Structure 1
Amino acid sequence: MSLKAFHLVFIILSILFTVMFGIWGVMNHGSSGQTAELVMGILSLIGTVGLSIYLYFFLKKFKHISYL
């Protein structure tokens, strides 16, 4: 597995993790009412957007490098 492929997999897993954590934080805020959980959820979803933008530019910049 090349460094590019590893980096791609790691970014995608990070995006999935931040989405799930963000959804959990926002939904858990609905049941517990704690503001900290809402803030963590929103920040995590903002991080998801940032990671998605990073993934787009990463793929655009390194499209000429093989995945092998």
Structure 2
Amino acid sequence: MKQAVWITIVALLILHQDFWWWDDGYLVFGFMPIGLFYQACISLAAAITWYLATIYSWPAELEGTEGGPQQ
């Protein structure tokens, strides 16, 4: 599952470069430019990806430890 999270992160990094929407004047919901809507969707996808990364990729050895330095 860690590999799937990393692949999703790389895909989001590539999809974040949305040069194909720069010159499009289409409005989503009648008021939001398509480029801004696309970036909002990418932001939501990134939030979901980071949530899944904390669930599936969090190191097990950090569970149950205090936040202070190790002694």
Q: Give the TM-score of the pair, scaled to structure 1.
A: 0.55
Q: What does residue range 2-17 of structure 1 map to in structure 2 within 5 Å?
A: 7-17=1-11
Provide the aligned length of Structure 1 versus Structure 2: 54
Q: Give the TM-score of the pair, scaled to structure 2.
A: 0.53
Whichever structure has more strand as a proportion of its residues is 2
CA RMSD of aligned residues (A): 2.4
CA shift digits 1:25-47 (9 cap, x unpaired): 3x554x31542232122211221
From 14, 17, 24, the counterpart of 1:20: 14
Bigger relative CO (Cα 8 Å, ≥ 6 apart): 1
Identity %: 4
> How far apart, CA to CA, are the structure 2 residues paired with 1:28 and 1:41?
12
4+ residue segments displaced more than 3 Å: none
- Kindly indicate whether residue 34 of structure 2 is the aligned counterpart of residue 55 of structure 1: no
